[in-house]
């Protein structure tokens, strides 16, 4: 259960209302007036709690759970313990997420500028903007209504930030336009100079990086991730992208909509990553290639050439995942046989 020091619970909420929130159907005989106090994992839940089951691996925990209610797929409903109310959904994890948001919508920051913050006279702040301690808002910045700027964050000259976006503590954003309802975690760096040099024995001359970073709506960028501005064309992060902690996005990269980039992955300059691509942890994408829509790149894999739509890749250099695992199986057998 959530620690009340950090999270404010809005319960209790009736199970009928929670079913509406989740887009789920109440099981036959469930009392629509049953009040749920909180959400909890299957093994920790008790009376008054709601949980969820989205993975068959946890069916035994579901069968033994003391939860008052559970979001579950109809296919597993018959495994529920007696007396448990069910919220039936084909997408139980999403349903649970919506319910958790209902209980814990997050604390709305109080609008206003902290006395220690600096806001340039030419900056424009929308209604309800909150600026934390020691933050810096430079000239000609435009912050939409409800934007939250964390303590110690620097918003560089001319930057625009869309309605409802939150930028965490200790971040710096420059040379960029950021969309609405984004969530930028502490320590994010956006708009830093791209890594571009003319290399020579006479010395490596940096090439001016004259583009921007353009971040779409509903984008999440994890702690200490960095996104370089373009060299001339912009670096673009599409709507709905989710970027984990410690990710590096190089200059001129274009991420399509709904991409997921997981911890310590990197995308080299001028790569194009099309819609709904998944780059798993510590994977890498070479520069100047196209990662086609729906591609999934396994952890610690390196993609060196264009991919085909919807392919699953693994290894370094990356090849189709089935082929990679077949090669690993053959290699394991060969080394075992040689050891006899």
Q: What is the pLDDT of residues 74-90, one digit of tens each?
A: 999 999 999 999 999 99
Q: In CATH, what number is assigned to the domain containing residue 42?
A: 3.40.1390.10
CB within 8 A of 333, min separation 6: which ones? none
Q: What is the pLDDT of residues 287-331, one digit of tens each?
A: 999 999 999 999 999 999 999 999 999 999 999 999 999 999 999
Q: Flag whether 116 is in a domain.
A: no
pTM of the full structure? 0.92
Q: What is the pLDDT of residues 239-260, one digit of tens each?
A: 999 999 999 999 999 999 999 9
Residues 77 and 181 placed together within one structural domain of the fold: no
DSSP code at position 96: H
DSSP per-residue codes, 69-131: EEEE-GGGGGGSPTT-EEEE-SSHHHHHHHHHHHH---PPPPPEE-TT-EE-TT-EE-TT-EE
Residue among 49, 175, 185, 251 flagged as catalytic? 251
Owning domain of residue 300: 175-322
Q: In CATH, what number is assigned to the domain containing residue 189?
A: 2.160.10.10
Residue linked to tokens 């984990």: 244
Residue 175 annotated to the active site: no
Q: With beta carbons less than 8 A apart as the criterion, state whether 54 and 21 touch.
A: no
Structurally, the chain folds into a number of domains equal to 2
Residues 208 and 312 placed together within one structural domain of the fold: yes
Which of 45, 74, 103 is the last residue before a domain boundary?
103
Q: What is the pLDDT of residues 165-175, one digit of tens each?
A: 999 999 999 99
Residues 94 and 179 placed together within one structural domain of the fold: no
Q: Flag whether 156 is in a domain.
A: no
Strands (E), 78-135: 85-88, 112-113, 118-119, 124-125, 130-131
d(CA 58, CA 132): 42
Q: Flag whether 62 is in a domain.
A: yes
CB within 8 A of 336, min separation 6: which ones? none
Q: What is the pLDDT of residues 58-69, one digit of tens each?
A: 999 999 999 999
Q: Flag whether 338 is in a domain.
A: no
């Amino acid at each position: 259960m959530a620690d009340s020091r950090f999270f404010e619970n809005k319960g209790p909420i009736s199970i009928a209302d929670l079913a509406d929130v989740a887009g789920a159907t109440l099981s036959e005989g469930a009392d629509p007036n049953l009040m749920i106090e909180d959400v909890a994992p299957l093994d920790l839940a008790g009376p008054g709690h709601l949980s969820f089951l989205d993975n068959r691996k946890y069916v035994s925990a579901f069968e033994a759970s003391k939860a008052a209610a559970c979001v579950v797929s109809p296919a597993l409903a018959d495994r529920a313990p007696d007396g448990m109310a069910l919220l039936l959904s084909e997408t139980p994890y999403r349903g649970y997420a919506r319910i958790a948001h209902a209980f814990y919508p997050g604390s709305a920051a109080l609008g206003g500028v902290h006395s220690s913050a600096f806001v340039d006279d030419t900056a424009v702040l929308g209604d309800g903007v909150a600026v934390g301690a020691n933050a810096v808002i430079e000239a000609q910045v435009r912050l939409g209504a409800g934007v939250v700027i964390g303590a110690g964050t620097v918003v560089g000259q001319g930057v625009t930030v869309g309605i409802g976006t939150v930028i965490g503590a200790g971040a710096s954003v420059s040379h960029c336009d950021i969309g609405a309802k984004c969530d930028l975690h502490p320590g994010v760096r956006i708009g830093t100079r791209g890594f571009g040099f003319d290399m020579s024995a006479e010395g490596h001359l940096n090439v001016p990086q004259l583009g921007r970073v353009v971040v779409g709506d509903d984008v999440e960028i994890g702690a200490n991730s960095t996104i370089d501005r373009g060299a001339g064309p912009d670096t673009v992060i599409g709507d709905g992208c989710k970027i984990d902690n410690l990710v590096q996005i190089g200059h001129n990269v274009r991420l399509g909509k709904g991409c997921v980039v997981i911890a310590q992955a990197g995308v080299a300059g001028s790569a194009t990553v099309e819609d709904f691509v998944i780059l798993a942890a510590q994977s890498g994408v070479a520069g100047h290639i196209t990662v086609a829509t729906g591609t999934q790149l396994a952890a610690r894999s390196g993609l060196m050439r264009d991919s085909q739509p919807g392919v699953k890749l693994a290894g370094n250099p990356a090849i189709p995942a089935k082929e990679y695992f077949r090669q690993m199986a053959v290699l394991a057998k060969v080394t075992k046989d040689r050891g006899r």
